[in-house]
A and B are shown apart, each in its own frame.
Chain A
């Protein structure tokens, strides 16, 4: 019941290499509809739909578009964020592999709405093998005249997690080191090459053709009060049926990991990847929605054989490695956390370490320059809240476990 296909509507249905099969499934009808409206009307439609960003932050897409449209200047850009760097996510890859045409159509609609003559798809470096198919989709759309108002260029990612962060991504497209910018100014006022820019996740954009075709009102009726539509999840870890699932927003986590993915033994679930939340089995009835738990849709299940400190330590190691190194709280803070957790791994953790972790978490959240450092303490905070015994048992066993 809660499974519903809007974003994945064409996956497995059309031939991703052949435009005619896409056209046979309402392909580019959304664009046709959009072009019959004024750009302002298109934006109004997206605003009414209640569509929020699927890249993690959940910012209302229509509002972003409107701000960019209204920013002064003729030169504007649209960027599709296909960097998919979040640990445990593979939904954008699945989408690109199965339905590149919808994405091209969505970019064409968005470009029209905000007044961008140029769009970029920032493709994760590891997805280089998808590039020919994506380029093929763009070429076919261009040949059919669907891209007469704008051009789309594919740019390869720089192979860094932080390059999925919007400002680092723009630096990367500009040919600079993938490092975060301070804000304000935000991309809608001053983005790529200093021009007004909309940057949207692949999945966010994938909703656009369907919204144009079926109307904002239709979309608005799906989901919860503050989370409209569906969400595509990448489920992995200790489950018998890992994979990509699309569900109506507000569905229970239990339906996803137990009913669909078939998990039986659950100790902890990481939602939203490395910077996401780490929750115990008792919270399985939490609805998956922006107001509760969501992130970019990565769901990793850990069974009772997994060690919480090990999970948190490895996650933190990743974040420390991927920190761009610009700001002090993130660069130094993740390092302190890694070293502290390493002591717990070796049975050398102390009571005072727990206190230091808590104090540091709050400072990193409050002062880091970007979402990476602000959310990096999440696994530590959650494990201290829900799995405190993992720390306590090691403190108690101090001296017994010497390595």
Chain B
């Protein structure tokens, strides 16, 4: 059996097994820390920084999804400093995200929107250009709209770790970073046939299935007279 470690979590003394991350422990104790890039079945990557918490003695905030608990840690998961940092991180993502929620497939199940709502975020305070990439809809298996991508890398990790197909990779740097296929070509590989791993992992509307012909609206468009 793993060694038990005692830590202070939001002013309560609790114990967790050695090797657990702060996030594991918090969730086990019923504390909700928002996450975006972290998914239970994938290796952590530490990209979004949404899961940050305060650990006494640390110069910076600490990402809970990949930081193991250590004896005597004093952790605050919802201090004002933490909440403010999380808000800004979401605002930073929203600032360059297209405002197309109205027509987005993910509209009401979008994780980004849900997190923004939970943190009570309205219009982002930051002004920046939007990400813009052309929609990739040549593949019969999936459609990619990378303008909506928040670079959580769940699709890449899913493709590598679960589907084991290694179709996706990262390219470019900084603000121009992008999840790409080969030398940044529109996705259209046979490997994607009968595989929904990335589509099901994407938290936003960047990845979706192409609309099937049968699903297209049948009959005349209704015109409502006003």
Please report A residues at the B interface, Cβ cutoff 8 Å: 160, 162, 177, 179, 181-182, 184, 320-329, 331-336, 339-340, 356, 359-360, 363, 365-369, 374
Contact = CB atoms under 8 A, between A and B. Distances in A.
Interface in B156-196: 169-170, 172-177
Interface stretch (B24-32, B44-52, B135-143): B44-52
A359 B88 contact: yes
Interface of B: 44-50, 52, 60-61, 63, 66-68, 81, 84-85, 88-89, 92-93, 95-96, 125-129, 150-151, 169-170, 172-177
Q: Which of B61, B88, B96, B177 has the most CB of A within 10 A?
A: B88
7 contacts: A184-B67, A323-B173, A324-B174, A328-B89, A331-B174, A367-B52, A368-B60
A181 B142 CA distance: 30
Contacts of B61: 366-367
B127 A336 contact: yes
Per DSSP, chain B at the interface is loop
Per DSSP, chain A at the interface is helix
Contacts of A327: 46-49
A367 B127 contact: no
Contact of A367 (B85, B96, B174): B85
Q: Which of A323, A332, A336, A356 has the most CB of B within 10 A?
A: A332
Nearest to B88: A363
A332 B175 contact: yes
A186 B181 CA distance: 31
Contacts of A324: 173-174, 177
Nearest to A364: B88
Nearest to A374: B60
Contacts of A332: 92-93, 95-96, 126, 128, 175
Contacts of A325: 151, 170, 172-177
B49 A340 contact: no
B34 to A, nearest CB: 13
Contact of B92 (A323, A328, A366): A328
Contact of B89 (A320, A326, A329, A356): A329
A333 B177 CA distance: 14
Contacts of B127: 336, 339-340
Contacts of A334: 174-175
A383 B68 CA distance: 37
A185 to B, nearest CB: 9
Nearest to A332: B92
Contacts of B47: 326-328, 369
Given A182-B66, A366-B52, A368-B49, A356 B174 contact: no
Contact of A363 (B85, B172, B176): B85
A335 B174 contact: yes
A363 B45 contact: no
Contacts of B150: 328
Given A339-B128, A365-B60, A368-B49, A323 B68 contact: no
Given A321-B173, A325-B177, A336-B95, A184 B44 contact: no
A366 B89 contact: no
